[in-house]
């Protein structure tokens, strides 16, 4: 058993509490990781506010991190102590029908199929003050040490800087892949991106990499426009600057709507606006934002009847275990510069300050160093 620091959410709506926790050794098929760095993602904020489906408290949040294998359980063959790794909030068991489908990146072991509040054997490796602490999406990166099933860990290049590639655990992969894999943006096309947080700006990068000729970035926070343009946006618009619905503005700007639109906020009204802003016949709208648990959307069916495609994306369509090492290699080859998403670096003890930056719209990505 290792004793270490972790940020525990004892109840919804309360600040995180940095505590000493006990982390049990890995059982068969599991890996214990010493985290070096973790990112703060809006999904963690959903969890803290009690809006994440099936979550249980007390819990150690965090799902975007990178570290080094400390020890391995019986039967683990794909990594060894000392290897650099990224824990994966979307596992790849390799055995379920989704994993065996080359067109799918989902896995039936993931949260959407069954809760990941405890490890597969239905027990926790975390305890604090004599109480069991739940895992979050199995990975719980807000802890100096965490235990994860082998099929929810990707071994990466030893040359990778962990404080940069930790974003690949969620935010960057989701947005970049939404453009590259899910929408399959074509060269010369037009795109609109709603929401310029870590995911939305990663969508902008993906659209640019795919060769889009026009990328319209949409946000009510104009402070994010400079970063969007740096990453490839050609136009930046604030819905509050117009008297008409933003989908009408985008349709007028492009003549018929964009070829691809992306919603990276997680609001019902912006999802409908994103859908309506793409071409009524061949347009593709990708939902990357996460709505609060229990949310519903009602739409005018003619939006789809004319031929539009509306689809979601899970972690950007990547089969995480096999694609993560390739993404890291692309980063090392300088095919994109995801470093620009990191706006703040704080010591782990200042985790609550990191969330304040997120809530105030002052950060794109804050990373915490252990």
Q: What is the spatial distance between Cα 80 and Cα 89, in angstroms, rounded to a whole number? A: 20
Q: What is the average pLDDT across 6-18?
A: 96
- Looking at residue 292, what is its pLDDT? 78
Could you give the percent of the chain with pLDDT greater than 70? 100
Whether 85 and 191 have beta carbons less than 8 Å apart is answered as no
Asked if the model's pLDDT at residue 238 lies above 90, the reply is yes
183-312: CATH topology: Rossmann fold (3.40.50)
What residue spans in the chain does CATH classification 3.40.50.720 cover? 183-312
Class of domain 2-171+317-369: alpha beta
Whether 43 and 117 have beta carbons less than 8 Å apart is answered as no
Q: What is the residue-averaged pLDDT of the chain?
A: 96
Q: What is the average pLDDT across 40-55?
A: 91
Q: What is the average pLDDT across 195-199?
A: 95
- Measured in whole angstroms, the distance separating CA 208 from the mean position of its chain's CA atoms is 19
What residue spans in the chain does CATH classification 3.90.180.10 cover? 2-171+317-369
- Looking at residue 21, what is its pLDDT? 98
211-223 residue pLDDT tens: 999 999 999 999 9
- Looking at residue 115, what is its pLDDT? 86
Asked if the model's pLDDT at residue 77 lies above 90, the reply is yes
- Looking at residue 44, what is its pLDDT? 94
Q: What is the spatial distance between Cα 271 and Cα 261, in angstroms, rounded to a whole number? A: 10
Q: What is the average pLDDT across 168-187?
A: 97
- Looking at residue 293, what is its pLDDT? 74
101-154 residue pLDDT tens: 999 999 999 977 788 999 999 999 999 999 999 999 999 999 999 999 999 999
In order of 16, 47, 48, 57, the CA distances from 11 in angstroms are 9, 10, 8, 6
Q: What is the average pLDDT across 164-180?
A: 96
303-358 residue pLDDT tens: 999 999 999 999 999 999 999 999 999 999 999 999 999 999 999 999 999 999 99
Pick the closest to residue 123 from 137, 112, 134 (CA basis).
134
């Amino acid at each position: 058993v290792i004793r270490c620091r972790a940020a525990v959410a004892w109840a919804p709506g309360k600040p995180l509490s940095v505590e000493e926790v006990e982390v049990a050794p890995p059982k068969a098929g599991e890996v214990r990781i010493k985290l070096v760095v973790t990112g703060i993602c809006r999904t963690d904020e959903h969890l803290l506010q009690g809006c994440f489906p099936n979550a249980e408290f007390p819990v150690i949040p965090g799902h975007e991190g990178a570290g080094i294998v400390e020890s391995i359980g019986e039967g683990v063959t794909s990594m060894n102590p000392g290897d650099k790794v990224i824990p994966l909030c979307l596992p790849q068991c390799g055995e379920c029908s989704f994993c065996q489908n080359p067109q799918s990146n989902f896995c039936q072991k993931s949260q959407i199929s069954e809760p990941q509040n405890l490890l597969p054997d239905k027990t926790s490796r975390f305890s604090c003050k004599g109480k069991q602490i739940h895992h979050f999406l199995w990975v719980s990166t807000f802890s100096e040490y965490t235990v994860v099933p082998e099929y929810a860990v990707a071994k990466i290049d030893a040359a990778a800087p962990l404080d940069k590639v930790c974003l690949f655990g969620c935010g960057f992969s989701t947005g970049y892949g939404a453009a590259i894999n899910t929408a399959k943006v074509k060269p010369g096309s037009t795109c609109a991106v709603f929401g310029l947080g870590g995911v939305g700006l990663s969508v902008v990068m993906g659209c640019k990499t795919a060769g889009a000729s026009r990328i319209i970035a949409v946000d009510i926070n104009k402070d994010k426009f400079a970063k969007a343009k740096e990453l490839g946006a050609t136009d930046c618009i604030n819905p509050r600057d117009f008297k008409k619905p933003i989908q009408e503005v985008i349709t007028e700007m492009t003549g018929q709507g964009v070829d691809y639109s992306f919603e990276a906020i997680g609001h019902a009204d912006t999802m409908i606006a994103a859908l309506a802003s793409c071409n009524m016949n061949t347009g593709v709208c990708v939902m990357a934002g996460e709505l609060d648990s229990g949310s519903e959307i009602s739409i005018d069916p003619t939006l789809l009847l004319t031929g539009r495609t509306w689809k979601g994306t899970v972690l950007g369509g990547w089969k995480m275990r096999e694609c993560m090492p390739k993404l890291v290699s692309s980063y090392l080859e300088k095919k994109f510069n995801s470093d620009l998403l990191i706006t703040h670096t704080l010591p782990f003890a200042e985790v609550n300050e990191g969330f304040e930056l997120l809530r105030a719209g002052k950060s794109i990505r804050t990373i915490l160093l252990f």
